[in-house]
Each structure stands twice: as structure tokens, then as C-alpha cells.
Structure 1
């Protein structure tokens, strides 16, 4: 999936790909306007964390070149897409060009003729990307080292959120990935209205597996796999009313916001769960105020954990400590 942040001048620049159809091989989401990249990363990118490609039209950003390069460094620290920068007329001896290479960005579109620009864009969005430059290789994240033994069978975990776009899907996928990486067999089940799984399957080139797909050991589908495993994780998303799966799950995870405009929705959800055991998971909460919000949200039935940034949905590393805390009772040994 491709996220394109475009200026008014270049709003049609990716039209030649034919990928704006949601059924296309690599669907494009286009946002047009004026942006500040660092601000977009902090406040908006979490809604697009599942996108695998990000195309940045340089003239759409108010940042200076130095600020733009610095923001890209932060972008790639927090998230894990492949970045393409479009900057007509940018020369290889320009400081920004070298700054992009130093930050691992080798997809740089800098021609000035439309046909050549389109060829460069197509090259950048190809499987191997643009190979004419030599960007600095970014350090790869270390994998999981500790493996656990899980003796449980078909433990049903329901993940719900207090409002749309709160992070239930990212949490459910991240937990699935972490559990599989540390030794469990896991089935992720999409049971919400977002319906992004088929697009993810194409974007991540998932391997077909029965009625679903397989990626890094996790079975993804819209229904539980036929084979028994340790965990079934139900991604229920935003739920105005609790369904039977949420009520009957072995473990309930409620993803709740802590920003002033999010708190009313969070409190309404927790009121409905007043006598239900659940972990309350809060993303994007500054460390300085976490204890304050924990005091507000916790109860005899609700344990509060704070989620760190999880840039790549299929990588549970960033929240491994939180996931381990929730799964401790199911770990039978090492």
C-alpha cells in the first residue's frame, strides 16, 4: 500500500500507475496539501502505519531541507516503510541529496521532464527500488532471542478499541507477530469493518494458506484456521456494543486513547466493561503523564499498560515487554 503526500502542483503525478483503485495490486492513498513532516509523523502517521511505501513530494512540505532530512531520520526510526522523495531538479551535489542517502533513502526522483519523472517513479516503486544510487544501509532490528513453551490450546483473545483508528489492528497484529516469534502458534482473525487484510496480503506478499494467508508463521484470515493452535486473536476494532466474542474471550484487550478528545470515548467503553476483566492498552501517551492516566483508567477489573510506537504492524518488538506481561500466565516454560 502506498501513501502519497502531494502538493497541489503534483496531485496527478502518480495517476499513470493506475493504482488508485482499491482492488489494484498496490493501492494508493493520496493526501494533498501543505505539510510539516515532523508534525505529520507525530500526529498523523499512526493512521497509516500499515502502509509499506511512502512517497513524499518535497514541495508539499514547509520544512527547510535540513529539517526535512532530520524528520526522515525520525520517520525511519519510528516507522518502517520504503520512502521515495520527489524533488524536481535536485542535483546530486546538493546537500539534501547526500542527506537523503545518508539516511538510507535511495529512491530519489529528480528529473524535470514528465516522461522521465514517471520512469523514475516506476523504478522507485518496483520490487527492487531505484538502484542507481548508493544509500547508507540502515541497521536492521535485532530479532527475538528468547523462546517460550506454550501448552495452552485455542486461547481466544479479543482486541477492541474505544473509537475508530485507535490502534486495535496494529495491536492485534503486533501481538500475533510477537507470540509467533517467541514460540506460539497463532491465528489472527479480522472481524472489523476496516477490511484491510486482503490489501495487506497483497502488500506483504503473504503466502496463501487455506482460506487465509501465512506470513512469518502467523495465519491471517477472516475466520479461525481449521487447525488447533495456542492462540486465536480476534481483531474486533471499534465496538459500540459488545458482541459474543468480546464477552466470551479468554482475554480481553481494550485499546483506549488518553488525549482530551479521546478520553470520553475511553471512559464510555470502560464503563461498559465495568465488571469485565481486561487489559487497558493506551498508545501515544507521554511518559510524564502515564501514571496520572493509569490512576484514572485502572480499576479492580482493569489493568493499564502503555503501548510504545509500533512502526511496523507485523513487528512486535517495540511492545514486547507489554505483550509478555499480558501473556505471562500462558507461558509454560522456556
Structure 2
């Protein structure tokens, strides 16, 4: 279901979704103080998947609007869509929205362009930071300097289903989102990349390379050149993958946090006992993190706890972790 807070002149913007996508849409038309609306109507909004806000219907000032949207994002797992017809990427409000990771913003003015952006906003992935790159492929937000070329980053798991591929994809998309030139390589035998490429409609560059939203994804354990960062998804850390893991500049080990999963972690740590690594617990509860850190942290092992993120292409959820892991290679200016 989609809730739409609309001005009188833009009330029909999302109507085509009813027929074409089978959406159920509830409209509230008029003028709103969004901050008050969020406070008073918060409980009745949990059953919506999307909330669209026409800026022409909102009477809050910019700071109040941002506060209301941040509060809304904190309380609910609902996609926020902003109808900001005619605004430019350089406008302060758009920049504030992007900094809060609100990317589903409709700014175009023609009917056909509005329809295209609406469809992108309600797609499985939605709009991402990639949609705000300029013609030269650089990010419109913070600028970064990358100190080196071809920094090789290994991402491995201590066993199956601990988020290794999701972490590798998220890290790739995080780096791409801050304007790094980055590649992903499937350096394992799982062959998940082909299935992902078909499902998400990647373009095929060569027999061994796909491309999606500006990122190149390689099959068959390739070691491409001329990138700032190369991400290698090693699958499970074992005897066959240990040599690549050790050869990389940055080493990330993914692990589950349940008691019966820790023996796999210990086994993996023994294989790389002298290596400087970052251990990333991908599914951990808040209460168990102190003990996990005590058991795992050492002078060669930095420990992190990632937030759950099922979206392969969203590098923003755990960006603080990624930034800390790569602190020696990235300068923010």
C-alpha cells in the first residue's frame, strides 16, 4: 500500500500505479505539517510499504521536514518517496535529503519523465546514490581522495550463509557511491553472480564480465586492473582460498554469532593467525556483542557488528564500518 500526502494540483501523480502495478493507494489531500502528522498518526502508518510526500503540500520549514522524515525512517521500514518537481540536485533541500539517505526523490517535470522516476522509486531496489552522479560519473555529495590503485580487498566467510556475498556487494556499492572506481570479482565456485545478474538484469560486457549501474562484476576469479579497489568474494575461507585471502591488502572475515557457529570462526582464525584482519559479525544481537568482542578482538583483529541489510546494492547501511575498515586508503575532503 502507498500513502500519498498530496497538494490539490498533484493529486493524480501516482494513479497509474493502480492499473499498471496493482497498487492500493490512499490519498490525503491539502496542506500538512509533516512533523505534527508523524507524531499524531505514527501508529496508523505501519501497514504501508510506501509513503509519498508532495512538497507542495507541506508547510514545515526545511529543518522540520528533515526531522520528521528522519523520525519516520527510524520508526518504520517504509520507503519514503519525495515529489519535488522542478528542484535541482544543487538545492539545499535535496542535498539535505540525500545526506539522510533519502534517495527516492522525483525532480523531473514532464509527464513521461515523472512516470519513469515513479516506477524507479517503487522498483525492488528503488533509487540509489548512483542516480545522483553527474555526467562525469562523480558523486554530487562529499568528495573523497583515494590514495592508491588496485587495493585488493578479500571478503570471506567462516561458513555458508553468514552474509559474505551480501557484504562484498554492499562494500562494492559503498565505494562506488563515494566515487571510487571499484570492481567485484566472484572468486569462488558458488556461481551466484550469474543468477544475480539475470535476476537484476545486469548488462553483459564480455563472457566474463557484467555491468550494473556503473559497477563491473567479474566471473572466474579474475584480477582486473586500473581500479581504486578490487573486491574479491572468496566464499568460505579454506585451504583453496587462503592464498588469495592472504595476498589481499584488506582482509574481511564474516561470521555468524550463534554458539554453534563460533567453532567455525575459531577454525578460520587459526588459518590466518598472523594476518591483520577485520572480523565482521553479520547476524548478532546487541546483548551478545560484548562477549563476542572479548573472545575475538586482538591486536591483529578488529571486530565489527554489521546491521542487517538484505539489499545487495545498498552500501549505506554499514558505511561507518566500511569507512573505518578502509581508513588507511580513503581521505574525505
In which range does the TM-score fall when normalised by the shorter chain? 0.5 to 0.7
Partner Cα distance (1:227, 1:156) in 2: 10
Partner of 1:309: 308
Partner Cα distance (1:78, 1:326) in 2: 29
| Residue 193 of structure 2 corresponds to residue 194 of structure 1 | no
8 Å contact 1:207–1:214 — kept in the other structure? yes
Aligned residue among 152, 171, 184 for 2:180: 184
Partner SS for 1:209: strand
8 Å contact 1:152–1:230 — kept in the other structure? yes
Written as runs of structure 1 = structure 2, the 5 A alignment for 1:111-260 is 143=129, 145-210=141-206, 211-222=208-219, 223-224=221-222, 226-241=224-239, 242-260=241-259
8 Å contact 2:168–2:233 — kept in the other structure? yes
Partner SS for 1:315: coil
How far the C-alpha of 1:139 sits from its partner, in A, is: 12
Partner of 2:282: 283
**What RMSD in Å do the two structures reach over aligned CA positions?**
3.1
Partner of 1:331: 330
Post-superposition CA distance 1:222-274 (Å, at most 9, x none):
14465411011110011222432111111110001110111111111112221
8 Å contact 1:256–1:282 — kept in the other structure? yes
Task: Give structure 2 stretches of 5+ with no counterpart.
Answer: 1-45, 51-75, 80-115, 130-138
TM-score scaled by length of structure 2: 0.57
TM-score scaled by length of structure 1: 0.57
Partner Cα distance (1:186, 1:305) in 2: 23
Task: Give structure 1 stretches of 5+ with no counterpart.
Answer: 1-68, 80-127
Partner of 2:260: 261
